[in-house]
Amino acid sequence: MVQQLKWRYLGIVVPMVLIGTIGWGSDILIFRQHLSMDLLIRHRIYVHVIWLTYILAVLVPPGSPPRQFNPDPELAKVCTFCRKCNRVKPPRAHHCRMCNTCVLRMDHHCPWTNNCVGHRNLLHFVRFLLSVVFGTSSVFWNLCGRVRVLWDARHQPVYDDDISLSEIIATIVLTPLSFFVIFTVGLLTIRTLWNLCENVTLIETWERERVESQIRRSRLEPVEFPYDLGGPYDNLVAILGPVWRWFLPWTEPQGDGMHFEVNQDASPSTIWPPADPDEIPPYQYVERQMSITDVSSRSSSTGSISAFPAPYFNERAGRATQLPYGSDAADSDTDSDADPNAYWRRDKWRSWEGERLEDFGVDVGAEMYSNHTQGSETFEEDEENVPLGIVKRKLVANGMRHSTEGVEVRSNSL
């Protein structure tokens, strides 16, 4: 389970202490006196590789969308809008509330590197996990050998020159500590590699579970996850690049982190995750942030009218047909006064592990396009009985005003 720390830099201190304690402590107190030279050199190489991969995972930025991001027509169909950065962001990107920026192909914000895992530093993060697992496993194996020697010599006097008290204490402390690191980091490594084989991020696994739950409850139509290309090798190459790049410590994944290949069962214009019934579809929200000229030129292709989609006007009718939450919402923590359907919202949903979207570092408020949370466009519950014609005129008027303001802001910035 991913959890963010209250003190961010504590997440860097803890791994550094563990690497130094297990790597250097075992070297100075135990291995230097008992391991052969080739095994000792191998151990020191493992320790330095762990340090190198960790430093790269901490310092290499995950990558952010360019400031002047103008997507082409095909890419624009799957782009969303960040309300915090106030700009269009490419697919699979999210706004990190810890780093306060949008991250390309954001996997999660790792508290142990105090950095997001995204497009640019994904390979560095994977190399760090693998180096920790292999390096610590080597330490644990050698420590188990010393445990066996100490157990066989348990009846010898404590003043034996070959066995010191400091070595006994170090062995007792470092053996279970190294096993704990192997177990915890190993689980994260298996989960990361499994996601890579499916071409899915940690955030997208959470979204897939949420979408599948809504499909089971008939709140959403069945939708295909677009980025799984089928085989593990195809997915790994699509994410990490050619195999020879995986083992070079300075390489990064290929591509720009904004264009992604989709499978044959998905449409190139498929937006993931799909919009909730109570939300504005993301591409329509993007249209609303664009100028009147841009909107009018694209309204025919998106099926919206003056950038205001049909879901704006039939949202109340849709509420009447939505099923109340049942067994899937047994553990819901929604308020009694809240909409029962809010359980599936991005800011409310919990996975089977109890994880929320914000646990991965995502700023949920930056990408929620709710019909009831758009500032001056908010409609109070007592307006549920207002005729649809009046509602439509209000929405169109607000949209024209915001579009005009967008044009003025752009002209002033020029």
**Over the stretch 279-303, which tens digit does the pLDDT of each residue have?**
666 655 565 555 433 433 443 343 3
- What is the greatest pairwise CA distance in the chain? 94
Name the one residue in this structure whose structure tokens are 């157990």.
151
In this predicted structure, the answer to whether residue 313 has a pLDDT above a threshold of 60 is no
Q: How far apart are CA 128 and CA 58, in angstroms?
A: 10
Comparing 2-16, 174-188, 199-213, 293-307, the range with the smallest average pLDDT is 293-307
**Residue 7: its pLDDT value, please?**
76
Percent of the chain with pLDDT over 70: 69
* Residue 226 covered by a domain: yes
Q: What pLDDT shows up at residue 156? A: 66
Is 399:308 a contact under the CB 8 Å cutoff?
A: yes
If phi > 0 it is left, if psi is from -120 to 50 it is alpha, else beta; for residue 165 that is: alpha
When pLDDT is cut at 50, 70 and 90, the band that residue 51 belongs to is very high
Place of tokens 């001056």: 376
What confidence tens digit (pLDDT) does each residue in 18-35 have?
Answer: 999 999 999 998 898 888
CB distance 396 to 306 below 8 Å: yes
CB 131 within 8 A of CB 50: yes
**85 DSSP assignment:** T
Q: What is the mean pLDDT of residues 378-407?
A: 45
CA distances from 200 to 100, 186, 269, 304 (A): 23, 19, 18, 31
**Residue 1 corresponds to which amino acid?**
M
pLDDT value at position 157? Answer: 64
Is position 165 within any domain? yes
- Three-state DSSP at 371 gives coil
163-177, 197-211, 259-273: range with lowest mean pLDDT: 259-273
Lowest-confidence segment of 69-78, 173-182, 188-197, 405-414 by average pLDDT: 405-414
> Is residue 51 assigned to a domain?
yes
Q: Give the position of tokens 């009447």.
A: 320
The SS3 call for residue 89 is strand
Q: What mean pLDDT is predicted for residues 387-414? A: 48
Q: Whole-angstrom Cα distance, residue 311 to residue 318?
A: 8
pLDDT for res 269 = 72
Residue 200 has pLDDT above 90, yes or no: yes
Kindly tell me the sign of the dihedral angle through the C-alpha atoms of 170, 173, 176, 180: negative
Per-residue pLDDT at 393 exceeds 60: no
Q: Out of 96, 110, 116, 144, pick the active-site residue.
A: 110
Q: What is the mean pLDDT of residues 160-175?
A: 82
- Decide if 408 is inside a domain: no
The answer to whether residue 268 scores a pLDDT higher than 90 is no
**DSSP character string of 108-133:** EEETTTTEEE-TTTHHHHHHHHHHHH
Note the pLDDT of residue 262.
87
- Grouping H, G, I as helix, E, B as strand and the rest as coil, residue 400 is helix
- Phi and psi of 39, rounded to 5°? -70, -35
Would 236 be classed as within a structural domain?
A: yes
- What is this structure's pTM? 0.74
Please give the backbone phi and psi of residue 177, each rounded to the nearest 5 degrees, phi first. -65, -45
* Predicted confidence band of residue 45 (pLDDT cuts 50, 70, 90): very high
Residue 382 — pLDDT band, cuts 50, 70, 90?
A: very low
Beta strand ranges found along 9-96 (DSSP E): 80-82, 87-89, 94-96
Peptide bond into 65 cis (omega under 30): no
What pLDDT, on a 0 to 100 scale, did the predictor assign at position 108? 93
> pLDDT for 133-145, tens place per residue?
999 999 999 999 9
Whether 239 has a pLDDT exceeding 80, the answer reads: yes
Host domain of residue 4: 1-277
Q: Does a structural domain hold residue 225?
A: yes
How many other C-beta atoms can be found within 10 angstroms of the C-beta atom of residue 46?
19
| More confident of the two residues 334 and 85 | 85
Question: Mean pLDDT throughout 143-170?
Answer: 78
The reply to whether 2 falls in a domain is yes
- Give me the mean pLDDT over the 385-407 stretch: 47
Question: Given this model, what pLDDT does residue 359 score?
Answer: 87
Residue among 133, 130, 141 at smallest CA distance from 31: 141
Q: Where are the beta strands (DSSP E) in 51-106?
A: 80-82, 87-89, 94-96, 101-103
Name the 3-class secondary structure at 82: strand
Q: How confident is the model at residue 49 (pLDDT cuts 50, 70, 90)?
A: very high
pLDDT in tens, 335-359: 434 455 566 677 778 888 788 888 8
pLDDT > 80? residue 58 = yes
The answer to whether residue 110 is catalytic is yes
Is residue 364 a part of any domain in this protein? Answer: no
Q: How many domains does the chain have?
A: 1
In the prediction, which pLDDT does 70 show?
Answer: 79
Name which of 79-93, 250-264, 384-398 the model is least confident about: 384-398
pLDDT at position 374: 40
Give me the chain's average pLDDT, please: 75
| pLDDT for position 364 | 85
Q: Name the amino acid, one letter, at 47.
A: V
Q: Could you tell me if 349 and 357 are in contact, meaning their C-beta atoms sit under 8 angstroms apart?
A: yes
